[in-house]
């Protein structure tokens, strides 16, 4: 089963810190979590403060970082997942780190992420559908990714 992944994160030299993560399953189910341990007072990125922080949901979605990997496993279930992202490099790293490292991924999980941008590039960069919902919200971005992937599949 396909799962569409998006994360918001703070990148600084030597570190990538997860802010929020979303997965959207092929069947329409969604998982959205925010890292309750992320310390906004330490974040020096004005861009994140202006573009990501206002789009966070808080409340029940803010969970301790140590719980996120188990929440992902519970959401994916027993299927062998195919995970897609868009410009996936840091999304994949932050996803893997929720389990400890890539070597700690649950049994049956791939050790790579499919990247829609690479597929689009290989097709000559056709235009993708615009994103009408809030950008820089992991859930809205993952929902858009699912629809963009469906569009590209129909394009082939």
DSSP 88-151: -HHHHHHHHHTTSSGGGSPTT--SS-EEHHHHHHHTT-PPPPPP-S-TT-HHHHHHHHHHHHHH
The string over 51-76, giving b where at least 16 C-beta atoms fall within 10 Å of a residue's C-beta and e elsewhere, is ebeebbeeeebeeebeebbebbeeeb
Whole-number pLDDT of residue 155: 74
Low-confidence ranges of the chain (pLDDT < 70): none
Amino acid 41: pLDDT: 96
pLDDT digits (tens, 9 = 90+) for 72-115: 999 999 999 999 999 999 999 999 999 999 999 999 999 999 99
Count of structural domains, the chain:
1
CATH number for the domain spanning 15: value is 3.30.420.10
Per-residue pLDDT, 62 = 98
The residue range of the domain holding 89 is 2-155
At 141, list the tokens: 């971005």
At 147 the pLDDT is 95
pLDDT of residue 129: 92
Q: What is the pLDDT of residue 59?
A: 96
Structure tokens, 40: 């906004």
């Amino acid at each position: 089963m396909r799962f569409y992944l998006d994360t918001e994160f703070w990148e600084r030299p030597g570190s990538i810190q997860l802010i929020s993560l979303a997965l959207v399953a092929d069947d329409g189910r969604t998982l959205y979590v925010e890292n309750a341990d992320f310390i906004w007072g330490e974040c020096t990125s004005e861009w994140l403060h202006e573009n990501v922080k206002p789009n966070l949901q808080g409340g029940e979605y803010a969970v301790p970082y140590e719980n996120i990997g188990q929440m992902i496993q519970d959401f994916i279930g027993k299927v062998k997942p195919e995970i897609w992202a868009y410009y996936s490099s840091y999304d994949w790293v932050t996803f893997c780190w929720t389990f400890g490292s890539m070597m700690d991924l649950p049994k049956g999980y791939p050790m790579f992420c499919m990247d829609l941008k690479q597929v689009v590039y290989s097709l000559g960069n056709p235009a993708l559908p615009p994103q009408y919902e809030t950008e820089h919200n992991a859930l809205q971005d993952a929902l858009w990714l699912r629809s963009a992937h469906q569009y590209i599949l129909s394009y082939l």
